[in-house]
Amino acid sequence: MKQLTIPEAAAYLLQNDNYIMLTHRRPDGDTVGCAAALCSGLRALGKTAAVWENPQFTEKFRPYLDGLTTEIIPDDAKIIVVDIATAGLLPYGAENYVNRIDLRIDHHGRDMEFGMQGYVDSSAAACGEVILDLLEQMNAPIDKRIAEAIYCAISTDTGCFRYSNVTAKTLRAAAKCKDYCADTYAINQVMFLTKRLARLKLDAYLTQTTEFLADGKVAICQIPESVRQELGITEDDIDDISGFAREIEGVRIGVMLREVSEGGKISVRTAPEYDASAICAVLGGGGHRAAAGATVPGGIAEAKAAILRAIEANGVKL
Ligand SMILES: [Mn+2]
């Protein structure tokens, strides 16, 4: 991928037209907020733009997409990918566009081959920070709706500003959202202060079944598909579940195992002395130092065997 500067990326967007934004597989608040904010900003600048209807969009983020989505990707459209770390995370149904990506905007630095050209700022805690830079560079009018989409992106990707990747710039970006009239309290209520009873029942299940290894330094949680269905758990209920084990006092490496359509999904959260992305790299995955993931063939049992092997390969005696 050819790395552009922010002014170059902005110039590209101002010079061209007819944009389609793609979001990543299992879309979260960051990818949805980025796509919505960029789409609205481009429209405000007189461009034709739409967000492609990712089949995995969930109810929680639906309000941000209202009036912005399309199911069609015109042949002459310029395709922008936001917050998509690698080709394997292109949304279902858009995998074939891998060689047609015109611009990549991201904060994941692990796969710099993906995309023809773009702007990747791996120092940004959320892709939403990058989108704000880009909109300001383009002099796009930032209204309340755009500000709220960006605030949704940044707040959800940082656990409401609690993660280690938060910088002064992250907090300044949030302050700017407030300046642009984002109702941050209302967003925080929905994203962080409201849980369905089903989720609390899942928390109870996990509390009962967490396994501890290495004198409690390592904790492993599992969500079998049967339990997820029995409790009626949706993706929105568990968009932040990956950090569950790491939140337990004394745990330095927290693991969450889930069954997804591709196999066993592994999420790892680590304290500063361990590197989650190095652990997941053993299994072909990746991410950030404090938070990373991988998916392995098989189910929960295979995922558990794989993650134990990967943790031991990183020098932890289990
Ligand atoms: Mn992100």
Asked if residue 43 and residue 101 are part of one domain, the reply reads: yes
Q: Ligand 1 centroid vs 31 CA: distance in angstroms? A: 6
Q: How does pLDDT run across 197-222, given as a tens digit for each residue?
A: 999 999 999 999 999 999 999 999 99
Does 187 share its domain with 292?
Answer: no
Distance (Å) from CA 17 to ligand 1 centroid: 25
Beta bridge pairs of residue 115: none
CA of 85 to the centre of ligand 1 (A): 9
Say yes or no: 66 and 177 in one domain.
Answer: yes
User: Domain check: are 255 and 229 in the same one?
Assistant: yes
Q: Considering 192, 227, 243, which residue would you say is the last residue of a domain?
A: 192
Residue 22 forms part of a structural domain: yes
Q: Are residues 114 and 255 in the same domain?
A: no
Burial (CB count within 10 angstroms: exposed 0-12, middle 13-18, buried 19+), residue 291: buried
Residue-level pLDDT at 11: 98
pLDDT at 239 over 90: no
Q: Do 30 and 171 lie in a common domain?
A: yes
Cα(84)–Cα(89) distance, rounded to whole angstroms? Answer: 6
- The CA 317 to ligand 1 mean position distance, Å, reads 32
Please say which residue of 162, 192, 222 terminates a domain.
Answer: 192
Check: CB of residue 154 under 8 Å from CB of residue 177.
yes
Identify the CA nearest to 13 among candidates 147, 135, 107, 120: 135
The total number of structural domains that make up the chain: 2
Q: Is the pLDDT of residue 164 over 90?
A: no
How many whole angstroms from 82 Cα to the centroid of ligand 1? 9
Report long-range pairs for 94-103 (Cβ below 8 Å, ≥24 apart).
94/22, 94/52, 94/54, 97/22, 97/73, 101/22, 102/16, 102/78, 103/9, 103/12, 103/13, 103/78, 103/79
pLDDT digit string (tens) for 132-158? Answer: 999 999 999 999 999 999 999 999 999
> 107-141 burial by CB neighbour count: b if 16+ within 10 A, else e?
bbebbbebbeebbbbeebbbbbbbbbbbbebbebe
> How many angstroms separate the alpha carbon of residue 185 from the centre of ligand 1?
21
Verify that 227 and 125 share a domain, yes or no. no
pLDDT of 110: 82
Residue 109 scores a pLDDT above 90: no
53 and 118 inside one domain: yes
User: Residue 279 C-alpha to ligand 1 middle, in angstroms?
Assistant: 20
Distance 298 CA to ligand 1 centre (A): 27
Instruction: Give the domain-ending residue among 166, 192, 218.
Output: 192
CA atoms within 13 A on the CB side of 131: 34
Record the tokens describing residue 99, joined without a space: 């060689």
Query: What residue numbers bound the domain in which 163 lies?
Result: 2-192
Q: Are residues 162 and 45 in the same domain?
A: yes
Same domain, 120 and 221: no
pLDDT of residue 179: 98
Instruction: Please give the distance, rounded to the nearest whole angstrom, from the Cα atom of residue 125 to the centre of ligand 1.
Output: 7
**What's the CA-to-centroid distance between 206 and ligand 1, angstroms?**
26
How far does the centroid of ligand 1 lie from the alpha carbon of residue 137, in Å? 20
- The percent of residues in the chain predicted with pLDDT above 90, rounded, is 95
Q: Does the pLDDT of residue 268 top 90, yes or no?
A: yes
- Report pLDDT for 288: 84
